[in-house]
């Protein structure tokens, strides 16, 4: 074997070594770019191929957020398709979901993620002071992120909704449907059940703050107790009727 062949083999072996030991912290930079700072990976341990950390969901100012434990494992078979395929688990759950990374996009599919009700305050800071409570489940059928665009759909259900500013509990159960067409993400809210009836529509485009316009209706027996809460975030349009604007 010639000298140049030996040098070439050495360079290839060196490059493969760098790839094999690439630190998990590189994932944070990719998430930061794809989500415009909304998603970050903290306390990352391991490599690109297998590791753990804390996935952070941050508010619009990127100053506060929530964190959940995350673990990932690479599946090499998908390299033949030009993609990186990972099995991901959150909060040490028994079930994992797939995350696929290509040159331009990150795709999540079939994920069920439990979130605290305070997460609503990250997307809509106006709601943060209400001390929201209840159980939230985010079901991602498929969402694809890349270069300021989101495609796919997801559903966020809020069960047993409540607030520290009212004794009425629960206020109800609600569902927010999210649809991304690339240019924008559109949201529609509906009430599943409960005394506080909420509905509305919203949208978000890259480079802009999310906007949501909704309405709230309170039946007469609960108006005295719930109207002060709603006046904190909405405009009263009549007895038991409120208009809410979040942006």
**Residue 109 and residue 96 in one domain:** no
**Residue 109 and residue 132 in one domain:** yes
Q: Under 8 Å CB-to-CB from 235, ≥6 apart: which residues?
A: 242, 243, 244, 245
Q: Give the Cα separation of 15 and 12 in Å (integer).
A: 5
Q: What is the pLDDT of residues 7-36, one digit of tens each?
A: 443 333 333 333 444 556 777 777 777 667
* 229-234: long-range pairs with CB below 8 Å, 24+: 229/130, 229/163, 229/165, 229/166, 232/129, 232/130, 232/165, 233/126, 233/127, 233/130
Q: What is the pLDDT of residue 168?
A: 92
Q: What is the pLDDT of residue 14?
A: 31
Q: Give the Cα separation of 78 and 65 in Å (integer).
A: 33
Domain boundary among 103, 121, 145: 103
> How confident is the model over 69-89, as a mean pLDDT?
82
Q: Give the Cα separation of 35 and 142 in Å (integer).
A: 16
**Residue 211 and residue 133 in one domain:** yes
Domain count, the chain: 2
Domain that holds residue 71: 22-103
Predicted TM-score of the model (pTM): 0.82
**Residue 95 and residue 124 in one domain:** no
Q: What is the pLDDT of residue 62?
A: 67
Q: Is 27 left (phi over 0), alpha (psi -120 to 50) or beta?
A: alpha
């Amino acid at each position: 074997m010639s000298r140049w062949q030996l040098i070439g083999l050495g360079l290839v072996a060196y490059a493969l070594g760098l790839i094999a030991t690439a630190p998990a912290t590189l994932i944070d930079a990719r998430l930061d770019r794809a989500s415009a700072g909304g998603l970050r990976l903290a306390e990352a341990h391991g490599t690109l191929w297998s590791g753990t950390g804390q996935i952070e969901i941050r508010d619009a100012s990127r100053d506060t957020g929530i964190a959940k434990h995350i673990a990932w494992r690479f599946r090499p078979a998908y390299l033949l398709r030009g993609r990186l395929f990972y099995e991901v688990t959150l909060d040490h759950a028994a079930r994992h979901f797939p995350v696929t990374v290509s040159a331009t996009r990150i795709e999540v599919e079939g994920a069920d993620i439990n979130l605290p009700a305070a997460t609503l305050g990250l997307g809509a800071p106006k709601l943060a002071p209400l001390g929201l409570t209840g159980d939230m489940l985010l079901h991602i059928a498929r969402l694809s992120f890349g270069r300021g665009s989101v495609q796919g759909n997801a559903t966020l259900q809020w069960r047993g909704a409540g607030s520290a500013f009212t004794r009425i509990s629960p206020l109800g159960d609600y569902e927010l449907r999210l649809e991304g067409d690339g240019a924008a993400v559109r949201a529609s809210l509906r009430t599943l059940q409960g005394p506080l009836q909420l509905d509305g529509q919203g949208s978000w485009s890259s480079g802009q703050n999310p906007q949501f316009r909704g309405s709230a209706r309170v039946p007469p027996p609960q108006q005295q107790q719930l109207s002060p809460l709603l006046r904190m975030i909405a405009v009263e349009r009549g007895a038991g009727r409120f208009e809410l604007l979040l942006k």
